[in-house]
Structure 1
Amino acid sequence: MSGDGTIQDGNTSAAAKTGRPGWVNKAILIAVGVVLLVIAYLILAAFLPRWWSIRVANLSEQAFSKGIFWGLAFGIVCSLLPLLFFTAAWRVRKKRGGKVTAIVSVVLAVAAAIPNLLTLTIVLGSSNAAHAGERTLDTEAPGFRGATALGAVIAVIVFAALVFVIVRSSRRRAQKRIAATSPPPQV
């Protein structure tokens, strides 16, 4: 009971508590979420290109051979894995329990692509952080950017060859099955 003699059930809505309609509360939450996302973007855009270039520089140790090796490694692995994960997500999405598997595959694909995306933000970015990252990669990790691009191209070619081989072999198996089940031609 409240002070005026009415019974309160404890399940009062947000609108009754705040005196605002429910859509206003949702709009406020969305606005706060957007503001937080913009702030996070601005912080990460200023931080991540510099951080990634320093990490790569530490791996490369100012050596062309190490810069090229790490560039090829990141380019191949961080391009091939996302392609495989996206393909897995595409194949299982309609199966029973496949939506969860597809979501997990997409999350893993994005996570595997992060090193290449960070390198891409340095190469294509126009911010001060991207330019600082470019300078760091030029001096501390020579050959990394070009090798990463080459590695990505190699990964796409390997993926295309893999898809070609798998599709071709499945078609051949299907043709053999059809040939085995059909009666021989009459002469």
Structure 2
Amino acid sequence: MTTPETSPATEKPGMPPWAKKAIGIAVMAVVLVLTFFILRATVPRGWANFVRSLVGGSYSSGLAWGLMFGVLCTLVPLLLFRAVWQVRKFKYARPVQIGLVIAGVVVAVPNLLTLAIATGNYLSAEQGRMQFATDAPGFRGATLTGAIVGAVLFVGFLVLGYMYKKRGKDLDKMRGELKQHEPQSKGEAPAPEI
């Protein structure tokens, strides 16, 4: 049996990788927008009922739960999204990155739901706002405050990480310079630096 040989000129090259990615991103965006519009009618009321059951009408409990949700549901997703960038050179980076993005979005859902209730102008958001005002006092404001604190902590972690890496590079540079100044003969001891 003989196999027909195909020349490169007759093969269809297919779509370039950037076009495939662009189409994939566009499809995901459309799906997300449609999901948002479908879920916005029911989910805010459910979230408001859940928060109402947690808080139980207590102002101090509303503050505590709001701060906890605000800080954790902002800081953890930002750290997960940062990890997406850090694992880009791993052997199986793409599945890990997708998992981290999904985990970050899932962890951010409580803050996004609270934001949807606080800023939405549709019926379920208005009902959720009324439930927050009567049965979960202080929760919305505390969530906003916690989100700001979580973002500031994330920036602090980034700054500390940068300083740590810079310190390591500076130490490596100083060690290299010190190694260049070491005496060549074994009997000669280096002078102590003061």
For normalisation by structure 1, the TM-score amounts to: 0.76
Partner of 1:60 in structure 2? 55
Q: In the alignment, does 2:72 pair up with 1:86? A: no
Partner of 2:110 in structure 1? 115
Q: How does 1:29-40 map to 2 (within 5 A)?
A: 38=34
1:41 and 1:122 map into 2 onto residues whose CA distance is 13
Q: In the alignment, does 2:173 pair up with 1:178? A: yes
Partner of 2:46 in structure 1? 51
Q: 1:44 deviation in Å?
A: 1.6
Bigger helix fraction:
1
1:179 and 1:139 map into 2 onto residues whose CA distance is 62
Q: 1:144 to 1:176 in 2, by over 3 A?
A: same
Paired amino acid for 1:115: P
1:136 and 1:88 map into 2 onto residues whose CA distance is 36
Structure 1: gaps of 5 or more residues: 1-33
Structure 2: gaps of 5 or more residues: 1-29, 183-194
Q: 1:93 deviation in Å?
A: 2.0
2:115 and 2:121 map into 1 onto residues whose CA distance is 11
Identical counterparts, % of pairs? 37
What is the DSSP-based 3-state SS (H/G/I as helix, E as strand, rest coil) of the residue aligned with 2:40? helix
What is the DSSP-based 3-state SS (H/G/I as helix, E as strand, rest coil) of the residue aligned with 1:46? coil
Q: 1:94 deviation in Å?
A: 3.4
1:159 and 1:42 map into 2 onto residues whose CA distance is 31
Q: In the alignment, does 2:119 pair up with 1:98? A: no
1:94-153 C-alpha deviation (Å, 9 max, x unpaired): 332111111110000000000000001101111000000000000000000000000000
What is the DSSP-based 3-state SS (H/G/I as helix, E as strand, rest coil) of the residue aligned with 1:95? coil
2:156 and 2:46 map into 1 onto residues whose CA distance is 35
Q: 1:181 deviation in Å?
A: 1.2
Paired amino acid for 1:146: G
Q: 1:155 to 1:42 in 2, by over 3 A?
A: closer
2:175 and 2:92 map into 1 onto residues whose CA distance is 34
Q: 1:91 deviation in Å?
A: 1.2
Total equivalences in the alignment: 150
Q: 1:70 deviation in Å?
A: 0.5
Q: 1:43 deviation in Å?
A: 4.1
RMSD (CA atoms): 1.8
